[in-house]
Amino acid sequence: MRRRPAARKLAWPECAAFAAPVIRRLALFVLLAAAAPCLRAQQPLVTDADVLEVDAKTKENVFRGHARVADGVTLITADEIRYNSETETITAIGHAVFTRLEIRLLADKIVIQRRVQSFTAERVRFGAHPYYAEGESASGTLQEITLTQATVTYGEPGPWQPTFRADKIIYAPGQRLRTENARAGIGHAQPLPFPRLQQDLRQPFPGFTTLNGGYRSSLGVFAEAGLQLPTAANVRLGGDLGLYSARGVMFGPSGSYGRTAGLASDPGLRGSFRTGYINDHGDKKFDTLGRPVPEHRGYVEWQHEQKLAENLTLTAQLNWWKDSEILRDFRPRAFFPVQQPDTFVEAAHAGANTFVSLFARFQPNSFQRVQERLPEVRFDLLPLAVGNGFYERFSASAAVLREDTPLGGPRLSSHRLDAYYSLARPFSYRDYFSFSPVAGARVTHYANSTGLTRTGNSTRTLGEIGFDAALNSRATFNYKNPRWKIDGLRHLLTPRASYRYIPEASQGTGRIPAIDRRTFATYLQPLGLGDQRNLDDLTATHTLRLGFDNTLQTRDPVYGSRDLLTLNVANDFRFKRNATTAGPERRVSEVHTELALAPAAWVSVDLYQSFAPQTFTLREFNTGITLRDGDVWSARFSNNFLRHEIQDYQLDARLRLNETYDALTRLHYDARKRRFNEQAYGLSQNLGNTWLVSYLVSLYSGPRRESHFGLNVQIQARGF
């Protein structure tokens, strides 16, 4: 074999003329017009090899020894490359490698049919991040490749990566992937049969993959698994399976679907569902109404969001539970954030200055009270200038309301028509003082009312007067602190005053079913007549609200400004006191204080306080302090205090031990009962940058439905 000479560029006709011994002594630069399906026509190619000769039998140009073809975008290398000018066929043999942009294809042999822009390959391996595939053979074009007896891996091939094998895989790079007769699994094990898989490669691969196991005294030894795989365009289907030694087997299908309309934050359509059923043979105890929990238990969850038109959206949610404790027993992480399931559907249209909505809420569960709307149509006109400095606001609704008592009490129902109109005339002095008097009226008509001593129709007409005022002041300080990244300070102070007088708001109490009624809340509630949601349970209002908003800011190179401190204080002065279950309201309400402090990226503080000035009594006090050191460690200390009800303290902390393991703990201490309601200690493991494995030991105290001891191992998908 001759020594490799320096390369020079030659057009393809010139290369053909040099089919002689001289060519064997030179490195050749050859122009191949569309030498492969993805090689661009008339694109000059650089060909390099140790030896170039002509096969006397087949009349093919043969490149041997480090054969290489490149055009700046595409590269083909092999031990031997053959070109047949009559059939326009290029054959790469031995360690054949084809690379174009993000696609890389390796094979023992690649045959490229230049005329029809297609190819075949033997024992092929190729990929386009994050998908990698290998098969016994491949054929097609680089727009669509068909593999037989193939395996596809998500991420770098390894023992923990998601994989599936199929008799046939049809792959359109960067577009879609579908299979025939496939089996899915992890690494070299594919136990799950899926006759057909289809995946949009522009979307994440599995929508849902979890493994969970351990021991809880209420469930026994348990193992849970959830999996969803793409089965059609924008559709993923699968199911959940749970095995509980003390309860039985829970199973049910699950799935998700979706497509995007433009931006990912502007979904055209997306949704998901999850189900479960179990014949529970364990200690089921009682539900929230004191009834025995049934043996046959189950749940159905569904969420749906859709953009029907440019300004029209549809949102729906279904939560059906056979009993009130089904999620608390088997899915506590999903239960505790939302303990009252909600089922509704809403279509909303946003106009230039209006909102129109159709809303319905249903009661599919027998254990809870729900203010049903069957349905409610609502129109809202946002404040609109009508001339001479006046602004009008209008809203109207029509609703069919119903509420059933779970234990068989009287049904409350009514057909309600409601309309609200107000006028405001803002006055301002320069840019620091504003005063806006407000006058409004609300008319509400009830028809077909039932569930009260007096039924029938009634109409309530209410009026309000009041004002909103604000004084805007600011000051700047040329203070700099590089350590805390403070570049100047700006203090914004805004005293506010709001007043509303709504006499006779409680009229019609005996004739109006109190379906939309007051609920327990510790914060200050809206003052204005048009903002109150407890429409069926109004009380007279003669109140002045005073507040002070404070904000301390500094310059930020990314966002322009950054809030270092926010402190808001407000309370009410009631000239009309209403009766409550605890007695008449106080003339001066509690002083409500909110604080948010974030002087640096590594520390943040939040606080809420409700303080009774008459007796210097602290009614409510909730705080949280978060400290973090990048991704090395973080800790949050928090407390919740509500007089005569709650007094607890919590700690959530995480410490990075190394690149693989994190230590974590969660402590929840009840000071009133002098006990730890919950202690949790664990480790989280990063497995191949694909799975996050959590090992958690939990200890619980006090009378509760949950177990007193729990050992949990959970595996969640991390890299897709």
| pLDDT tens sequence across 611-652 | 999 888 999 999 999 999 988 999 999 999 999 999 999 999
Residue 25, pLDDT > 80, answer no
Residue 378, pLDDT > 90, answer yes
Mean of pLDDT values over 425-431: 92
pLDDT tens by residue, 92-138: 899 998 887 667 789 999 888 877 778 889 999 877 667 788 889 98
Residue 422, pLDDT > 90, answer yes
CA distance 163 to 192: 11
453 pLDDT band, cuts 50/70/90, is low
Contact 681, 712 (CB under 8 A): no
Three-state SS for 458-525 is EEEEEEEEEEEEEECEEEEEEEEEHHHCEEEEEEEEEEEEEEEEECCCCCCHHHCCCCCCCCCCCCCC
At 44, phi and psi to the nearest 5?
A: -60, 135
Residue 507, pLDDT > 90, answer no
Q: Which residue has the higher pLDDT, 26 or 163?
A: 163
Q: List b or e across 462-476, with b for residues whose CB sees 16 or more CB atoms inside 10 angstroms.
A: bbbebbbbbebeeee
Residue 22, pLDDT > 50, answer no
Residue 262, pLDDT > 70, answer no
Residue 372, pLDDT > 50, answer yes
Residue 73, pLDDT > 80, answer no
Q: Which of 16-25, 474-483, 574-583 has the lowest mean pLDDT?
A: 16-25
671 pLDDT band, cuts 50/70/90, is very high
pLDDT tens by residue, 572-609: 999 988 877 666 788 999 999 999 999 998 999 999 99
Residue 505, pLDDT > 60, answer yes
* Highest-confidence segment of 164-178, 227-241, 331-345, 561-575: 561-575
59 Rama class: left (phi>0) / alpha (psi -120 to 50) / beta: left
Block residue for tokens 């109140």: 543
What sign does the dihedral 110-115-117-118 (CA atoms) show? negative
Residue 401, pLDDT > 50, answer yes
Residue 390, pLDDT > 50, answer yes
* Average pLDDT of the chain to the nearest whole number: 85
Alpha-helical regions (H) of 112-205: none
Do strands 131-141 and 118-128 pair parallel, antiparallel, or not at all (unpaired)?
A: antiparallel
Letter for the amino acid at 423?
Answer: L
CA distance 683 to 459: 62
pLDDT attached to residue 703: 67
DSSP structural state of residue 526: P
CA atoms within 13 A on the CB side of 311: 9
Residue 194, pLDDT > 50, answer yes
Mean of pLDDT values over 521-528: 90
Contact 111, 127 (CB under 8 A): no
Smallest CA-to-CA distance from 300 within 325, 331, 273 is with 273
pLDDT attached to residue 203: 62
Instruction: Kindly state the percentage of the chain with pLDDT values over 90.
Output: 52
pLDDT attached to residue 119: 84
Residue 228, pLDDT > 90, answer no
Q: Which of 111-115, 428-432, 485-489 has the lowest mean pLDDT?
A: 111-115
Residue 495, pLDDT > 90, answer yes
260 pLDDT band, cuts 50/70/90, is low
Whole-prediction pTM: 0.76
Smallest CA-to-CA distance from 544 within 625, 476, 466, 479 is with 466
Query: What would the two tokens of residue 257 be?
Result: 């679907």
Residue 526, pLDDT > 80, answer yes
145 pLDDT band, cuts 50/70/90, is confident
Provide the 3-class DSSP secondary structure of residue 10. Answer: coil
pLDDT attached to residue 235: 85
CA distance 690 to 540: 60
Q: Delineate the domains of the chain, giving CATH numbers in brackets.
A: 1-122 (2.60.450), 129-202 (2.60.450.10)
Mean of pLDDT values over 509-535: 89
pLDDT attached to residue 155: 72
Contact 390, 423 (CB under 8 A): yes
* Highest-confidence segment of 148-152, 189-193, 682-686: 682-686
pLDDT attached to residue 221: 93
* Highest-confidence segment of 88-102, 155-169, 383-397, 703-717: 383-397
Q: List b or e across 605-643, with b for residues whose CB sees 16 or more CB atoms inside 10 angstroms.
A: bbbbbbbbeeeeeebbbbbbebeeeeeeebebbbbbbee
pLDDT attached to residue 16: 35
360 pLDDT band, cuts 50/70/90, is very high
pLDDT attached to residue 84: 82
Q: Which of 418-432, 529-543, 575-589 has the lowest mean pLDDT?
A: 575-589
Dmax over CA atoms of the chain, in Å, equals 113
Q: Which of 74-83, 421-430, 608-617 has the lowest mean pLDDT?
A: 74-83
pLDDT attached to residue 30: 30
Contact 124, 142 (CB under 8 A): no
pLDDT attached to residue 264: 45
CA distance 550 to 570: 12
Q: How many other CB atoms sit within 10 Å of the CB of residue 559? A: 8
CA distance 360 to 356: 14
Residue 179, pLDDT > 70, answer yes
Paired with 381 in beta bridges are: 354, 394
Mean of pLDDT values over 396-419: 92
pLDDT tens by residue, 306-350: 999 989 999 999 999 999 999 999 998 888 888 889 999 999 999
Smallest CA-to-CA distance from 239 within 14, 637, 229 is with 229
